[in-house]
Chain A
């Protein structure tokens, strides 16, 4: 599977300008040979992340968002198909979520394969999501034409339990759209928040034998710099490609599904966990 990550740098709240910019990126992606099969965009890519009450003006229904993404792809790529994962603020009949949609786009049509609604809404320090949004209530892996995958949004992926559950549910590719304001200037050449992200993502890839696709939002929002740092990590924990924290970038990687089986055969932690998990869940000592 050939994957593109668009490390997108939106203009805050200017949805039309952002879709115009996305069309430009889609055209670049569609012109590539061999063709890209999956394109991943960050959290809140078409609006910017910090919206406060503006979320009620910019959130849209999942079906409308998917239709706009598909129309933008078709305008850029003509009759070629692709799968797209993108974060957006969702208006579900007056209940608002921080969501990401997996949309399969055909030559002239599209369908929503899955919508994940962010479950862990950071509401501390600089973050204020739960003041404006509701928590997603459901976590599942889902089948795509490239195999079984799962989407976790930003803080969802900071709780080791969630990657574990979706891996148990069969996910072989973990997609993480994110918007992470950078902080921590301690010596070492990289922001501390970026180093922490790398560390947790790599641990999931190795423990569960999954590919991890991390798409980070870029650009400054009211002094808070989003730390891009998009990457693809293979099931052995190797980083196949990564972007710097600053600026918009297009990342490209080829994911070989066979490596998942090889990694899991070499380090069968996921199989071990599947065997022991019923005992763990039944244990009075833990739950």
Chain B
């Protein structure tokens, strides 16, 4: 080697956004979570969940089947008359794959029974009525089967406020609420959720041709990468400096900052030294 040759350069690895998970570890951990919380702590051996045909509820169904056995998982399809037939078929694919208990309860009559008095209700109000009707049915079905309802909201939609308050977020246990959508996809592939469910465009299916990414105005991959940095404490300018579009960062920041209230219980006027959850503090499992 010439004395003038430059030193070989060893580059540090580029800094990525850490969204990769160990899906086997996640599955083991979440299976233990469900078994501990349901069976050991509450003495409940069965779970109900709304099976939409989407990836989130499919993953929760697979996890619950691992924790409780498929016969103890009651997957309930809750179509409205405008719901996509594909959603029903995709939900059926999950039921077939797991061999879990399955039920279909059409919510059209219940929803329309109320909405007939509100013909001016726009799509947002109608969607919220559907989500809250599904919540009502799930809780009643849980009483019928001596089960607990499982939540299926992921971290991305929780942070973006993309859910109906006191509906999708109301079940007492949620195994996937700390997983971003892109992490749910990783877990879904590991668990064996049918590929067409993992690969299709996510949709709340409250209106025809609706997609989550269309509603949100950003892809899940981009939203998750921005959210991951935001929650670690990076300022918007620092996130933009990492190569993200300023408009996307603004959009995500506005959704998170505008929906903190949706991630809390109702605001209660404090009047005493023993106000619940202000001074009187007991953990949920106490």
Which residues on A are within 8 Å of B, measured CB to CB?
A: 11-13, 48, 50-54, 182, 185-191, 219-223, 225, 246-247
Contacts and interface: CB of A to CB of B under 8 A. Distances in A.
Contact of A182 (B29, B280, B282): B29
A220 B32 contact: yes
A52 B283 contact: yes
B36 A220 contact: yes
B286 A225 contact: no
A54 B283 contact: yes
B285 A222 contact: yes
Contacts of B22: 185-189
Q: Which of the four size classes fits the interface of chain B?
A: 20 to 34
A186 B18 contact: yes
B29 A187 contact: no
Does more than half of chain A's interface fall in helix, strand or loop, or is it mixed? loop
A220 B37 contact: yes
A220 B25 CA distance: 16
Nearest to B40: A219
A225 B285 CA distance: 13
A246 B22 CA distance: 16
A220 B33 contact: yes
Given A187-B20, A220-B37, A225-B33, A54 B26 contact: no
Interface string B272-283: 000000011111
Contact of A219 (B18, B36, B282): B36
B109 interface: no
B24 interface: yes
Given A50-B285, A53-B280, 11 more contacts: A11-B41, A12-B285, A50-B283, A54-B282, A185-B22, A185-B25, A187-B22, A189-B22, A189-B25, A220-B37, A225-B33
Which interface residue of B24, B28, B285 has the most chain A CB atoms within 10 A?
Answer: B285
Contact of A221 (B20, B26, B282, B285): B285
Nearest to A188: B22
A185 B32 contact: no
Contact of B282 (A11, A52, A189, A246): A52
8 contacts: A53-B279, A54-B283, A54-B286, A188-B22, A189-B24, A221-B283, A222-B285, A225-B33
B286 A185 contact: no
B4 interface: no
Interface string B223-250: 0000000000000000000000000000
A52 B277 CA distance: 10
Contact of B286 (A12, A182, A188, A190): A12
B286 A51 contact: yes
Contacts of B21: 185-187
Interface in B33-60: 33, 36-37, 40-41
A221 B32 CA distance: 12
Closest 3 CB pairs of A and B: A52-B281, A185-B21, A220-B36
A223 B178 CA distance: 10
A225 B283 contact: no
A90 B9 CA distance: 57
B284 A222 contact: yes
Contacts of B286: 12-13, 51-52, 54
